[in-house]
């Protein structure tokens, strides 16, 4: 028997209570999934929320590395992801063997891994960071220590530019969604929308040129490099009425819902992460009903990865 979307919503809300479960959703999730979530946020906020929840079960509506992070932080809780194929092209850009080989080339370096990495990679890292605290984390490392930053080259270039750090080596990984957002797309749009605030995620391939324009003063009033939650906050607090948004388009649903009197325009309509969209309401229901799919990081890996995550949480 097929269940209607409305029924899935009712069933999800019922099961959530029955099982003392909490639904955490990333800002890029489908609208109907965001609507059943207890908490919506960026990678850092989701990690924080997982760390403090009193629920027995966490249904993680995001991608696999985020669920792994929740499992590392809360080893006693059941962490479920509604679809195991919700991966991340950026997290796949480097594996543990590649990182071990890179570390061997730079034995004295401090390793900073963006949270979009597997648990195995985090276990070989000194610090974890997210887009909202990468600058803070790198700034906290003594200036004379070499830094290996991975896996996002655009976020790395952005952090190197802001911190003016010269001893930072950056892994050449990228997110296919954000790499597809180019400076030309943005320049074209900003040329016609002169009063709009411009919000850009540090993973975008346009970030370097955006930094340049901000430095030159061209975008001094309107260019903001922010994590997805930073964008949400800016949308709420800015006096602007129009916003050009350079990130995955899933974030527009929440932006519009929370700011109905403002206008949000995506730089690229097809900036869609197919991995994030693997999670549907029906799969969330299935996950809660059948306790699938559990994400559990082996204790030894989790213990080492946790150190890197805890260092990040302590700095933010």
Binding-site ranges for ligand 13P (CB under 6 A)? 27, 42-43, 116, 130-131, 175, 203, 227-228, 248
Residue nearest ligand 13P (C-beta atom): 42
> Binding marks (x or -) toward ligand SF4, 32..71, rule CB under 6 A?
-------------------------------x--------
Measure the N-to-C terminal CA separation of the chain; round to a whole number of Å: 48
- 88 is a contact residue toward ligand SF4 (CB under 6 A): yes
Quote the DSSP letter at residue 93.
G
Residue numbers 151-180 binding ligand SF4 by CB under 6 A = 175, 177-178
Residue numbers 217-256 binding ligand SF4 by CB under 6 A = 248
- Strand 21-26 to 78-80 pairing: unpaired
CB count, 10 Å around CB of 151?
A: 26
Can you tell me which of 276, 297, 309, 312 binds ligand SF4, judged by CB under 6 A? 276
Q: Give dist(CA 244, CA 251) in Å, integer.
A: 12
Can you tell me which of 24, 40, 73, 90 binds ligand SF4, judged by CB under 6 A? 90
- Is-contact 128 311, C-beta < 8 A? yes
Residues in contact with 224: Cβ distance below 8 Å, sequence separation at least 6, in sequence order:
197, 198, 199, 200, 230, 231, 234
Omega of the bond prior to 38 within 30 degrees of 0, cis? no
Q: Which stretch binds ligand SF4 (CB under 6 A): 83-91, 181-189, 209-217, 262-270?
A: 83-91
- 273 is a contact residue toward ligand SF4 (CB under 6 A): yes
- 214 is a contact residue toward ligand SF4 (CB under 6 A): no
Question: What Cα–Cα distance (Å) separates residue 16 from each residue in 19, 118, 142, 221, 285?
Answer: 5, 28, 45, 44, 9
Q: Give dist(CA 236, CA 260) in Å, integer.
A: 10
Shortest reach from residue 55's CB to ligand 13P, in Å = 21
Using CB distances below 5 to 8 A depending on partner kind, what does residue 57 bind out of ligand 13P, ligand SF4, none?
Answer: none
The residue among 219 and 231 lying less far from ligand SF4, judged by its C-beta, is: 231
Can you tell me which of 154, 253, 275, 293 binds ligand SF4, judged by CB under 6 A? 275
Omega of the bond prior to 12 within 30 degrees of 0, cis? no
CB count, 10 Å around CB of 303?
A: 13
The residue among 249 and 287 lying less far from ligand SF4, judged by its C-beta, is: 249
The residue among 130 and 287 lying less far from ligand 13P, judged by its C-beta, is: 130
Using CB distances below 5 to 8 A depending on partner kind, what does residue 293 bind out of ligand 13P, ligand SF4, none?
Answer: none
How many helices, marked H, and strands, marked E, lie in the chain? 15, 12
SS3 246: strand
Shortest reach from residue 178's CB to ligand SF4, in Å = 6
Quote the DSSP letter at residue 209.
H
Site residues, ligand SF4 (CB under 6 A): 63, 88-90, 116, 175, 177-178, 248, 273, 275-276
């Amino acid at each position: 028997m097929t269940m209607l979307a409305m029924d899935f919503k009712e069933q999800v809300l019922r099961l959530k209570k029955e099982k003392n479960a909490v639904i955490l959703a990333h800002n890029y999730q489908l609208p109907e999934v965001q609507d059943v979530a207890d908490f919506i946020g960026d990678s850092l906020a989701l990690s924080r929320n997982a760390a403090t929840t009193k629920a027995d079960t966490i249904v993680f509506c995001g991608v696999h590395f985020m669920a792994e992070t929740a499992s590392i932080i809360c080893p006693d809780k059941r962490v479920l992801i509604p679809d195991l194929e919700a991966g991340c092209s950026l997290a796949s850009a480097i594996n543990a063997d590649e990182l071990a080989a890179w570390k061997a080339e730079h034995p004295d370096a401090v390793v900073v891994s963006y949270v979009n990495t597997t648990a195995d990679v985090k276990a070989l890292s000194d610090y974890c960071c997210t887009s909202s605290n990468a600058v803070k984390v790198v700034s906290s490392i003594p200036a004379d220590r070499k830094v290996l930053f991975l896996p996002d080259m655009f976020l790395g270039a952005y952090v190197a530019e802001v911190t003016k750090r010269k001893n930072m080596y950056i892994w050449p990984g990228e997110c296919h969604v954000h790499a597809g957002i180019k400076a030309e797309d943005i320049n074209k749009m900003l040329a016609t929308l002169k009063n709009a605030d411009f919000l850009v995620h540090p993973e975008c391939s346009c970030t370097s040129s955006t930094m340049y324009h901000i430095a030159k003063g061209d975008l001094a009033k309107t260019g903001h490099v922010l994590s997805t939650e930073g964008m949400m906050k800016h949308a709420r607090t800015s006096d602007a009425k129009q916003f050009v948004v350079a990130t995955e388009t899933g974030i527009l649903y929440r932006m519009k819902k929370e700011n109905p009197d403002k206008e949000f325009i995506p730089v690229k309509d097809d900036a869609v992460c197919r991995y994030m969209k693997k999670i549907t309401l029906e799969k969330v229901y299935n996950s809660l009903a059948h306790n699938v799919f559990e994400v559990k990081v082996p204790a030894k890996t989790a213990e080492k990865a946790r150190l890197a995550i805890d260092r990040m949480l302590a700095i933010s």
